[in-house]
Amino acid sequence: MRLRVRDGRIIDPAHNVDSVADVLIEDGRIVGLEPATDPDRGSTQGDAQVIDATGKIVCPGFIDMHVHFRDPGYEYKEDIETGSRAAAAGGFTTVCCMPNTDPVIDNGAVASYVRKRAQDAGVIDVLPFGSITKRQAGEELSEMGELVRAGCVGFSDDGKPVMRADVMRNALSYSRIFNAPIISHCEDLNLTRDGQMHEGYYSFVFGLKGIPAEAEETMVARDLLLARLTGGRLHVCHVSTRGSLELIRRAKAEGIAVTCEVTPHHLTLTDEVVGSYDTNTKVNPPLRSEDHVQALRQALSEGLIDCIATDHAPHHLESKDCEYAAAAPGIAGLETAVAVIMDRLVHSGALDITKMVSLFTVGPARVLGLDRGTLSPGARADITIIDPDRVKRVNPETFNSKARNTPFAGMELRGWPWMTISEGRVVAHDGSVG
C-alpha cells in the first residue's frame, strides 16, 4: 500500500528536519521525503493515496513510555484494546505499559499475553515492561531474561517503589546484561504514608495531610547512588520536584547513566487546584507548588528532561466518586496530553515546537533503545499529524478510553492530534479510531 502525506510541515528532530514536504510511505515503511520545491515532486507513486496535510505539523509517531492498561486483571478499568484506541486518538503510535496488573507481568507468559492482545487489537504497538521484583513485592528479582525474551523493553515496579536498597542494587546490576533500563517509581513510603497532596501552604489551608517533596527526593538520591555503584541504567519516573531535578542534573554531569520523564499534568497544574476537592486532581506523585512546576518547565527547555510521558492511569468511576482521602490516584491522560502541552507550553512560548516533538519521539526512543521516532527512509511508518490551531473543549464522555478521570475536563485547548498513522495505516482521524 502506498501513501503520500502532502504539504505538511515536517518536523523530525532526529535529523534536524523542519520544512514543508511530502512523506512517502510504502508497505508500512518510510520511503522518503519530497520537498515542496522539488520540480519532480509527485512523479513517483502516482497511484498512492494522498492525505492533504496543508497547515498541519507532520512528525514521527509519538511514543509514550509510561501507561497503565490494567490488562490482565482490571479490564473493567481499561483493557489493551481500549487503551490502544485511546493512544491512537491521542496521537501515539507506540506505548509501553507498566506491569502492575493481576497477575503481575513478572514472567514471560504474562508478557506474551500483552503482546498478543495488542497484536490482535491491531491499532498501535504496545510494548510491556516487566516487573523488577516478583509480584512487585519488592523482595525477589523477577525472571529478567525470560521477560526480555518475551518482548519486555525495561523493568519497573511502578505504582510502588522498591524499598529495599539491596534489591534495587541487584536489579541495576543484573539489568546490565540486557542493557535495559530500570524505571524507578521514587517514593519513600515512610514519608508519604496517608498523605493526600503536596505538603505546603495549600495542604494546610485545605486540611489535607501533605506529602513532602523529600519523599521523592530521598529515593531519587538513593537510586542515583546505586546506579553509580553498579553502572546500571536508571530512568526516573514522573519527576515532580526541584530537588529531584538538581540531583539528576548533578548525576548527569558526573556521568551516571540516568534519564527521566515528566508528565503533562505536573507541567501544567499546581497544588492549588486540589482546593476543588475534585478527586481527579489526586495523582502520585502529587501536584506540586508553583515553584516546582516552574523548575520542571525550565528543566524541560534546558534539555535536562529526556521525555514527556502521560502516566495514563484509568480508573473506574467508583475509584474516584468518593472522599478525597479514599480516592485512587491517577488520571487518564493519553487523549489530552498533546493538546495540553501544545496549548499551555507551545502556544504560550514556554516550549519550542521542535523540542516538544523531540520529547515525544527521539527522547523516549533513546531511553528504551527503540528503532523508531524518526522519518528516516526505511523506518517504520509511524506518523503523528497535529493541527496546531484546532480548538476543542475536553469532553471525557467522548474518550476512547473506558475511563473518564481527568482534571482537564471542560478546558478549551488549542492544538490537537489530527491523524495517527501506524505502520502506514491510518488508525485515527480527528479523535475517531478505526
Q: Which of 360, 315, 321, 320 is nearest to 340 (CA)?
A: 360
- Phi–psi pair at 38, nearest 5 degrees: -70, 120
Grid cell 509511524 is found at 382
Alpha-carbon distance 407 to 274, whole Å? Answer: 10
Q: How far apart are CA 37 and CA 39, in angstroms?
A: 6
Decide if 311 is catalytic.
Answer: yes
Beta strands in 271-411 (DSSP E): 307-308, 383-393
What residue spans of 150-279 are helical by DSSP H? 165-175, 189-192, 201-206, 214-230, 242-254, 264-268
Q: How many whole angstroms separate alpha carbon 337 and alpha carbon 343?
A: 10
Q: Which positions ≥6 away from 118 have C-beta within 8 Å? A: 80, 84, 124, 125, 126
| C-alpha cell belonging to residue 64 | 509514550
Going by DSSP bridges, is the β-strand pair 234-236/182-184 parallel, antiparallel, or unpaired?
parallel
Out of 64, 158, 306, 311, the active site residue is 311
Task: Work out the burial of residue 179: count CB atoms within 10 Å of its CB; fewer than 13 is exposed, 13-18 middle, 19 or more buried.
Answer: exposed
**Residue pair 266/296 in contact by the 8 Å Cβ criterion:** yes
Query: With the CA atoms of 140, 142, 145 and 150 taken in that order, what torsion angle do they form, in degrees rounded to the nearest 10?
Result: 180
CA proximity to 382, closest of 368, 370, 393, 372: 372
d(CA 124, CA 106): 23
Catalogue the active-site residues.
Answer: 311
